[in-house]
Structure 1
Amino acid sequence: MDFDGKIALVTGAGSGIGAATVRALVFRGAKAVYACDIDEAAARRVVAELGSATPLGMDVACADQVSAAFDTVLAAHGRIDVVVHAAGVDDPGSKQRMYEAAEQNRPPEVLAHLDDTAWRRIMSVNLDGTFYVLRAAVRAMRETGGAIVTVGSSSAFDTLTGYPHYAASKAGVHALSQAVAKEVAPFGIRVNTVAPGPVDTAMAARTPPHLRAAMIANGFRGYAMPEELADNILYLASPGAANVVGAVLLSNGGRFTV
């Protein structure tokens, strides 16, 4: 019960890693967990059987909505102890182009076909959203301290051919989180990042079966479960990681190291 009595806010809580993190926080004793997602109905489904969890509709790409969500929690409890920022998106169109190119044994040629709208969508959710959440969390925790965990990606290191916008956005998440970690450590706020490899979420469900099979053909572990990432996240947010500040924790089943 290492989160006994804690007040937590989780973004991207309607599915995948965020939903698994909400459940884990409740099971580990959190007093109140706010499950934030742009799809509030999905968040409601996640918390339906969790007595100490509350759904909140929030688009992380909208600064006003992020601020409003934090204000709601502060108004109810006066503090926020743990923030987990798991919200993020990929680009199905570019991913499909990559898959088709792999099947035809040719270069994917994504960049030349990448329009401004697709680029901005990835950046606004993945990178701008991280800035908005970090800013709101630090404002809320400046007097009381706390733990913040952002979700980056191993693709920031082992960049995917044909996925420049996603890799760039997640590399930005890592750098932003580490810079903030150094700045806010004197206030008793710890910021860390988990960098997953392939995780069996709704995003991964769009991967064709033969490419999913290729993930484990070389002996690597393949897709992790969201619950395993939630365990990584809660370690970083727990008192057991008191000496861990500004870390990027690779959780990719050994596919590569840095």
Structure 2
Amino acid sequence: MARVWRPLERPVALLVMGWSQERSATALAIRFAFHALPLVLVVISSSASPVRGDDSRFRAVAPGVAHTTFKLQSDNGEPFSGHAFKIDLGAAKLHVVSAGDPSSRRTVEEIAAPYPAVVAANASFFDKDGRAMGLAVDEGRVIVASRQASWGVLVVDGKKARIGLGSDIRDPRAYRLIVQGIPRLVVAGKVQQLKRQVAERTAVCAAGRVVVLVVATRAETTAFARFLADPPEKGGLGCRDALNLDGGPSTQLVARLPMLTLSVPGGWGVPNALVVVPR
């Protein structure tokens, strides 16, 4: 059966994932509860280039940061909704920020509290002791050293980002930022063979200077990956490469920007967060 992404008939809002897992004259302030999602699909423009093709849904909300919301349904799956932030690494910085010591966990809102202007979402998976799993590097400093060779990896080298494999990383200190996740959802534009699972989702797409951070309500893995990979003209985000980060109750998001304030709370604390800071 042909796949069709379509908005539901009434406007609703929200996006982030788990594995085992908006320029008006005045600022826009939105508070989202994760289970009640009154959302509007907005048609907007951005000066930043998307990962693949031009997507007019995105609207600049801070220097180097553009935002869109969506609620979609496939022919054979449940509806899911979310937020996507497009980050231009030439105008905004991306960090991995720890919750504290190796076994500490805090909410993303708590982790992002020191930053006056910020977008942040959960990042690493963690073990039963609360310790982050997979490499985590910020500004060349190794935060977590447990490299997972078979896992995917988001790498920022200077102002360019890519997604690859953990086995590609020889010296973690040679990179400005690293965070690992699993599985790789989209590789070279192709959706991967994925285990069927429904969960809240957090994911990242990367190509060159552009990183797209996505947080979503409960979505089936392959349907979510197809949405990431499909081009904008088909309702997708046009991600050439996409990586799944921790999800389920870990999925959470906060944004405090000149034109957008929102919060998507999670179910528990997390060991670290991906933090976007406009320059």
TM-score, scaled to structure 1: 0.25
Which structure has greater helix proportion?
Answer: 1
Q: Which has the higher contact order (CA 8 A, sep 6+)?
A: 2
TM-score by length of 2: 0.24
**Structure number having the greater strand percentage:** 2
